[in-house]
Each structure stands twice: as structure tokens, then as C-alpha cells.
Structure 1
Amino acid sequence: MATLEDTLTTKRTPLYHLHQANQPNATGWQHLGGYAIKAGQDETQVEPTTVAPACGLTDLSALARVGLRGKKAATILSEKHYQLPAAPNQALRQEDGSLVAKLSASEYLLLGSFADDGERISRDELAWQAAERAHRLPDAYLLPRQDTHAWLALTGSHASDVMAKLCGVDLSPKAFAPGHVAQTSVARANAIIINASQADLSCLYLLVDSASACYFWPILLDAMQEFEGKELNIMALRHHHPA
């Protein structure tokens, strides 16, 4: 297992230093998608039925994410065999577990899969970057979401109850079904919220400005206390997250 010294040349998520300070008892560091992540003490001991039964908060910022905007964005994504949502503010899970969210008529957000640690999204982004440099990405351009947005996951049966304290949008399961997207204010800051729930795991994804990540994290943890929520290590959640 990697030591702190091993992470010095590794990429770091926006919450890296906060995790470093708040988890002094973790057993070490691991690498995921080129990023240093904190290794939890019990990620191999968590049962699927007990992952965040009330609510849990996980930093998914080590997984790949990218945006694409422009008149030809849909065509470019379709050529890479992505299935696209029918309308803005909808998200569609792909066969490999990745997620495509349509944020407007011409803007898409792609989130990597647990199944391949986001490798598909990373690979396609590199190809699009090369095409963009060669001026072969007409009427579309990339948005570097990996750099601009931290990615958090709020899981468990009380996820929407936690968000009700922080957001004016009704995110209850009846009003905000799986696949719905909200671009709104959370705790007085902008955020993209995606209902990424699946059959055995209620899950809300939050994409927040990277500079605000260390502001959001303690606020969410505080809002979770009423429901006995806890912080979850990404490796624990990955072991039990459907592909």
C-alpha cells in the first residue's frame, strides 16, 4: 500500500488535504485513476446491504469526468457509442456504468464508471483533446470538468432528507426520479445534482466547483448527523456499487 511519500508525484483531488487532515487513522494511501486516495480501514468488510443504510458521503473526484458542448456535441458522442438523454436536465446510465447528463440543448457531462475506474471517459477525452488540437473537432469543444468540478456522492435512504436542509429544490424520490438532473443552488453555492440511484442503492451525485469542495464537505457531513450519516471511502463504495 502506498505511503504519503508515494503520493507526492500523484494527482490530488480538490478534497485531498481535507481527507489527509481528517482521517489520521486510515491505514495508508491508494491510487485510483492516477489520483492519491485515502485507504479506509474497513472497505473490504462492508456488506452490500449495509453501505450507507441511512446516508453516506463519498468523494468520487478521482473518477474521470468531462464536458462537451457545441452544435455537434451529440453527433460526436453518438460516434463513440454513447446513449444520449432525450432532453436537457436528464441523465442516462450507459451499459458500462458510466453516466451521460444533458445539461442544455448542446452541453453534455460525462461521468466515469466504477467498473473501469473511469478509463473509458479518460480515453475518449484524450482522443477528443488530440482532435481539438488538430482542429478536427468541428462545432464542439471540451469542458475540463476534471479540473473545474469536484464530484461527491450522497447515498442512502436519507439522501434527499439531507439535501432538503441545503437546497430549495424538492429532491424526494417522487419528485426527483432516477435520471433527473437539477442545476441549482446548494448551501448558497452552485451545484449540479444528478439522481444516480439504482435498484439497491439510493444515490445523489453532486458536482460542485473545485474551489468550493472543502466548503461543501463539512456542511454535508453536518447535515447528515441527524441521520447517523458517515463518510465512506471510495473503495468501499466501489465494491458495492452496481456497474
Structure 2
Amino acid sequence: MTSLQASQCLERSPLYRRHAGATLGRLGDSLVVSRYGADDEHAQLQRCALIDLCNLPRVGFRGAAAADYLRERGYQLPDAPNRALTQSDGSQVARLSQNEYLLLGSLRDGGARIAAEERNWQFGASANYLLPRQDSHAWLRLTGEHACAVMAKLCGVDLRPAAFGTGAVAQTSAARINVIVINLGDEALPCLQILCDRASANYLWDALLDAMAEFDGRPAGIDALLQR
């Protein structure tokens, strides 16, 4: 990514004050952290890293007809609540209840597909309702072999792979705030997607970094994910 100044982009993360000194890049019309420094952030990802994905598009749908609508749009859907699936383009679909779905954008297209879903949705006669999530939920990604140990300090749910395998979703609390935790990592890179109320983003970021310190955990930029 090209280094940018904050004034060159339209959108910025609620965590932008936490990213002083980082190299910035552009993701659509948004400002993101490309990298934090000259260190090998690939190694950091494998050990313990926290990544700000707040400016990657996400959206929700709810209603009795939501599943049919999403299938018509080409999405594969989880077969039960509190499950998630990665799509062929890298976007992700989490089923939060019988009739509610959360769609997370892919870094491959900068979230363009998911952004288009929100932009193109129209109210109709069917029971399928748009749930804007860009401004309601912050989105972080915790990666590395120590991710579960970090969350064990903050969350009462057992998030170890044996109990919380790939595709699992937990709607719970961490550091005493409500969160959605999604395990869509793989053997090459364990990772947990963590979403919380956008107003609590700075609090949760700091709480996670504090819990990560024992494992030499640090923030990382999006470049390291793109170059995997």
C-alpha cells in the first residue's frame, strides 16, 4: 500500500488515534494501517498480533426471507445459528440467530462485494431487512498461536480449538463488554474475528493489547495479511 496522510481519505477508523506513527494505506475510500514499522510483521501475525479492520465493510440481514435472499446473491450459509463460513472470495458469513446473518468483507477486494450488498439493498415485500453494521460495530482481528490464551484473560468462554473450532461463533462478553467472536482461522494462521460496539473500540483495543503483552503481542498492519 502507498503511504498516505489522513486528509487524503474520507473514512477513518475509530482507533485512528491509536495508530500514531504507523504507515497508512487506502482501502476503497477509507484509511487503514498498512504496517507499523520495519519489523517482520508476518512473524508477529504467527505469534500474537492485533489488527484494526474497522474500515473493512460489513453488513447484516435479518428476517424470515434473509436466507433465501443471500442464497440468491450467491452466498453459502451456515446450517445453524452461531456458525460461520468463509466464502470463495474470502468474505465471511456468520449466522447469529435463526434469521440473522452478519457479512464480513474480504481483503481481496477491499470489501467491495459486501459494500455493494448494503448499497444495492432495497426494501421490498419479503421479510428481509438490512442491518447496517459499519457504524454500529468495530471489527478487530486477533491472530497467532497465543490468541486463545489472550482471550482467556478477558472472556469466560473456552475459545481453545478443541472447544471452539473453525466456524464457531460466540456472542458473549470480553473485558466486560458485549462481543461477537468468530473463529475462521486456519492451520497456517489461527485467528479470531472480534466485533464490539463501535463506541467501545478504543477500550477493547487497549484491553487486548494489555492482555497480549505477556506474549510479546503487538499491533500489525493489513499488508502482512495481504501478503500471506
Per the normalisation by structure 2, the TM-score is: 0.93
- Give the equivalent residue in structure 2 for 1:150: 138
1:32 aligns with 2:27: yes
For residues 108-149 of structure 1, the C-alpha deviation after alignment (integer angstroms, 9 at most, x for no partner) is 000011211111111122111xx12xxx26211111111100
User: Aligned Cα RMSD in Å?
Assistant: 1.6
- In 2, distance between residues paired with 1:204 and 1:41? 20
- In 2, distance between residues paired with 1:37 and 1:47? 16
- Give the equivalent residue in structure 2 for 1:3: 5
Structure 1 contact 99–113 (Cα < 8 Å) conserved: yes
| 2:27 partner letter | L
For residues 53-82 of structure 1, the C-alpha deviation after alignment (integer angstroms, 9 at most, x for no partner) is 321000011111000000100010000010
How big is the shift at 1:47?
A: 7.1
Runs in 1 of length 4+ with deviation above 3 angstroms?
45-48
How big is the shift at 1:35?
A: 1.0
1:167 aligns with 2:151: no
SS of residue matched to 1:146: coil
- Give the equivalent residue in structure 2 for 1:227: 215
1:18 aligns with 2:18: yes
- In 2, distance between residues paired with 1:209 and 1:217? 12
- Give the equivalent residue in structure 2 for 1:140: 128
How big is the shift at 1:238?
A: 2.4
1:105 aligns with 2:76: no
How big is the shift at 1:41?
A: 4.9
Pairing 1:39-58 to 2, within 5 Å after superposition: 39-42=34-37, 46=40, 48=42, 50-58=43-51
Per the normalisation by structure 1, the TM-score is: 0.88
Structure 2: give runs of 5+ residues left out of the alignment: none
Structure 2 contact 44–218 (Cα < 8 Å) conserved: no
- In 1, distance between residues paired with 2:148 and 2:218? 15
1:79 aligns with 2:81: no
- In 1, distance between residues paired with 2:14 and 2:126? 32
| Identical positions, percent | 51
